[in-house]
């Protein structure tokens, strides 16, 4: 890859991330050749300008101060790999869940996929339980509270696991 192509891709990624922080989503959409987000942690795919804009609306309604902070950027032949932090406060409803008022912070990795100097996809890898635990919706399964919640929320699964464990002895 040429230094010029590397520089161009880096500029696009930085503008993409900074425009998200400024909530200038029209600018963010313009960084794409074809807007597409793939959120691996949830399995959600937002393809096309309309779907990506709806994703921005949904997430920024729920987390109006959502922002990212770049940690590191790495280059490959077909992508720019970003390590970053994501922060936000749950101040609005999100997929039927009322606002908790709690904040979250989560480290994530995103692949910004390119065809030459055209951004075609942002694929984000993250562990959704990290956010859910910080919002008070989920609990660490290794804590007493988490174990109790697991038993009450999933009695059949836990019961089957206990039976399997007892029958293996």
What 3-state DSSP class applies to 55?
Answer: helix
Q: Give me the residue label for tokens 């590191």.
A: 72
Q: Taking the chain (169 residues) in consecutive chunks of 10 residues, what is each chunk's mean pLDDT?
A: 94 98 96 97 96 96 97 96 97 90 96 97 94 80 60 63 71
User: For residue 148, what are its two tokens?
Assistant: 């109790």
Closest CA to 32 of 51, 58, 60, 59: 51
Closest CA to 26 of 3, 50, 8: 50
Q: Indicate the fold that domain 3-137 takes in CATH.
A: Nuclear Transport Factor 2; Chain: A, (3.10.450)
Domain locations along the chain: 3-137, 139-169
Could you give the maximum distance between any two Cα atoms of the chain, in Å?
Answer: 64
12 burial via Cβ count (<10 Å: 0-12, 13-18, 19+) = buried
Q: Give pLDDT, residue 102.
A: 95
Q: Give pLDDT, residue 153.
A: 61
Q: Give pLDDT, residue 141.
A: 65
């Amino acid at each position: 890859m040429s230094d010029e192509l590397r520089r161009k891709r880096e500029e696009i990624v930085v503008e993409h991330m900074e425009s998200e922080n400024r909530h200038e989503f029209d600018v963010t959409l313009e960084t794409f050749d074809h807007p597409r987000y793939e959120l691996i942690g949830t399995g959600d795919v937002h393809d096309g300008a309309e779907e990506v804009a709806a994703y921005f609306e949904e997430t920024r309604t729920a987390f109006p101060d959502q922002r990212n902070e770049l940690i590191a950027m790495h280059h490959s032949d077909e992508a720019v790999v970003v390590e970053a932090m994501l922060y936000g406060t749950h101040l609005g409803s999100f997929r039927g869940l009322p606002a908790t008022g709690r904040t979250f912070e989560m480290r994530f990795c995103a692949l910004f996929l390119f065809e030459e100097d055209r951004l075609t996809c942002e694929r984000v890898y993250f562990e959704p339980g990290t956010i859910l635990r910080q919002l008070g919706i989920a609990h660490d399964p290794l804590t007493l509270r988490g174990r109790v919640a697991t038993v009450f929320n999933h009695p059949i699964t836990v019961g089957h696991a206990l039976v399997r464990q007892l029958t293996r002895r």
